[in-house]
Structure 1
């Protein structure tokens, strides 16, 4: 009675990882140091006891969840590893199920951004926040569609509606400067990756939430909430780009709340679109599909043709992740048809939507077909369908010059298509060009794609000169992910 049983779940993941017990112990210790848990010091014998059924103490279960999730490119929860669930204290700003009210939204963003700034280390979320998926994620997000109380003044506007004097003062030039700064950060991200200016964006977000502690006329308040939503979304995207997935999800959720307070349905749909993109990256296609359908439904009366085209393209990406060939192809066609209906110029679109050009459309749809080559039984046909689209994207982004990281992603995409067509030398050539860019931008997401493509090339075509050269370059030029500032 009471004898421990081997942890078969952990053992299965451990075997598939290819790690030795010593390597897992070293990674746990390294991650623990990154998050300030200096009391953690494990070794091979301790790992053996975990495999035999011993339950490690916090923060080790969360650390192991992060390590295995990064190893496999999809969410591996504490429960998946057969480790006990740790009950976390519920506080304002924790998790994704937050109250939909302006005061609590401001409080949550202020507290979370302050914590991010103070705890300047990649792993600080490892002991306080985990990635949320499945119903625990989708159900709270559905409340985005719920209208607020009819006629009830929001707490932030209550003072104004009660006839009291506004406490906040913001001139039009100051408001425009805030909007211009947000756009500048967005351009920096596209050119340099999320790791270079992430902390600056978080700092600006925190400053704007300080402004929202004051009272303003309703139009000013909504405008400030719109800026807050854009900054929180950008902080989320940058966190996602550098591999901080729980943090990215948290900022996305906060951005969605701020967009609701701004009354900006199109931007709220855009936040959900990037939440879907993150789930695709983590190989959670069903969650991605739920999120994109929620975005489509919520913006059905407000989205422009450009945004509708983006939504269809991301729906196709979600379908490709789960191998739905016909539904993916239908969404691709709808994205192309809708894009052809765009009447506004790029300059007439909101700043946050201008990135979605014809090159981006080709990139998304090409990658949908490329993914179907892996997830369906029509690999060769799907690779052939992907090639002209990704080629078009590569050519256009090469001429563009402003979206450096996106250009590199499409180079990697083309490399994977060439591998599917068993052309290793061509694949290596494209991937080496992506390595040149990855050295200059700070994007762990890009680094991961490059590493995986190089590993796939070496697995199937080791000995080919270009493939071996690529493998050597990746080892020397793509460093292991370290803490970002």
Structure 2
């Protein structure tokens, strides 16, 4: 017990939370008990792979849906130290550990429950591709907290049923993190992706685990942590992840590995990884992929290849691949990525001194951003205006008009 007006210290709050969770049949958070002032991310608990991921997901959902706590969480810094991965025995033991976790409720999970989670994830994934991660992410976080996480504390007919449930929930948690990454809510994204990786490990789903490690690596590259990015990308290429994946997913893991190698200045390794990704994608069978990687086609490979070559200091080669990506993408279905690709293409064009070409490309990027809500699209516009700054006064009417449009679009993209 604790005295009113004070808080229990040490492990007491966590013991109390676990006891009441089992009694009520649902996962409680410290905030539900009035024992947490700020967002749980301030303690960086999700970087500790020994913390119960079910509790972590419930806490994250509560943080995300409470506007005050969400704003506090937004001020919490992305943690490169929190990217350290557990040792190999942890991954091997994770499914058995999850199977021994006591149920919080007597509810029996059905195949319909699993299908509902997968269908919701597919719906929001398609929305993310069209509209950007800043659109719909709060609704998805609500589904995760209220519909998906409770399934993990329920009963299962078979071990296969349990693993399928954990995989479905892990994929929804991954998408929540990916959308936060696209919205540039990087600490929220990191927490979501780390928790998703842990649930995937408890499902024994190696390919999904690799998919999520790849996302963490992508984020680390973009935020300027090349060493950590390479550790994550290399882990995604292990036998348990890459080795069990479909050809399409293997191509995705390999090209992000290439990007991490490029960020570390490894030219031979980058080119070898690009070649591996190309070979993997060439082997794809139309039935050979889970839905989460359906987006990864020629246009996506060209985009990531271009980013790797750009980071190696090869803007001309990068331009060729960005142009291929623009030419081969289904623009309406993948509008967010299309606008970002155009923005990157304009940047490598101006880097080579081709201002008129860059302005034309950036104009197309702004056209493509109509209706998009994405922090990464916003970053493209900020970079565009920075690149235009040295020539704004002497670039003529078309540069001034492009800058005016960019200022207006900044207010719309999220």
Q: Within the alignment, does 1:193 sit opposite 2:124 as a pair?
A: no
Q: Which of the residues 425, 433, 439 maps onto 2:364?
A: 433
State the distance in 1 between where 2:171 and 2:367 align.
Answer: 30
* CA displacement at 1:476 relative to structure 2: 2.2
Structural mapping, 1:61-460, within 5 Å: 94-99=45-50, 104-119=52-67, 123-126=71-74, 129-133=76-80, 136-142=81-87, 146-148=91-93, 154-156=99-101, 167-207=106-146, 208-217=148-157, 218-297=159-238, 298-342=240-284, 344-345=285-286, 347-373=287-313, 382-397=314-329, 399-459=330-390
Q: Report the more deviating stretch, 356-365 or 320-329.
A: 320-329
State the distance in 2 between where 1:414 and 1:214 align.
Answer: 49
Q: Does structure 2 retain, via aligned residues, the 8 Å contact 1:438–1:447? A: no
Structure 1: gaps (5+ residues) = 1-87, 161-165, 374-381
Q: Does structure 1 retain, via aligned residues, the 8 Å contact 2:214–2:256? A: yes
Q: Does structure 2 retain, via aligned residues, the 8 Å contact 1:142–1:294? A: no
State the distance in 1 between where 2:392 and 2:271 align.
Answer: 31
Residue aligned with 1:422, SS: coil
Q: Does structure 2 retain, via aligned residues, the 8 Å contact 1:92–1:108? A: no
State the distance in 2 between where 1:349 and 1:410 align.
Answer: 24
Q: Does structure 2 retain, via aligned residues, the 8 Å contact 1:93–1:109? A: no
Q: Does structure 2 retain, via aligned residues, the 8 Å contact 1:435–1:478? A: no
Q: Evaluate the alpha carbon distance shift between residue 444 and residue 149 of structure 1 in structure 2; reply closer, same or farther with a 3 A threshold.
A: closer
- TM-score of the two chains, using structure 2 as the length reference: 0.82
- TM-score of the two chains, using structure 1 as the length reference: 0.71
User: If you compute each CA radius of gyration, which structure gives the higher value, 1 or 2?
Assistant: 1
Q: Does structure 1 retain, via aligned residues, the 8 Å contact 2:98–2:202? A: no
Structure 1, residues 365-388: CA drift from partner, whole Å, max 9, x if none?
012112222xxxxxxxx2221222
Runs of 4+ displaced beyond 6 Å: 88-93, 149-153
Residue aligned with 2:161, SS: helix
Q: Evaluate the alpha carbon distance shift between residue 177 and residue 146 of structure 1 in structure 2; reply closer, same or farther with a 3 A threshold.
A: closer
1:163 corresponding residue in structure 2: none
When the two structures are aligned, how many residues end up with a matched partner?
372
State the distance in 2 between where 1:235 and 1:321 align.
Answer: 26
Structure 1, residues 293-327: CA drift from partner, whole Å, max 9, x if none?
01111414312222222122112212222333232
State the distance in 2 between where 1:361 and 1:149 align.
Answer: 32
State the distance in 2 between where 1:190 and 1:89 align.
Answer: 29
State the distance in 2 between where 1:422 and 1:183 align.
Answer: 42
Structure 2: gaps (5+ residues) = 1-38
State the distance in 1 between where 2:54 and 2:326 align.
Answer: 41
Q: Evaluate the alpha carbon distance shift between residue 479 and residue 467 of structure 1 in structure 2; reply closer, same or farther with a 3 A threshold.
A: same
Cα RMSD after superposing both structures: 2.7
Structure 1, residues 23-63: CA drift from partner, whole Å, max 9, x if none?
xxxxxxxxxxxxxxxxxxxxxxxxxxxxxxxxxxxxxxxxx
Q: Evaluate the alpha carbon distance shift between residue 141 and residue 434 of structure 1 in structure 2; reply closer, same or farther with a 3 A threshold.
A: farther
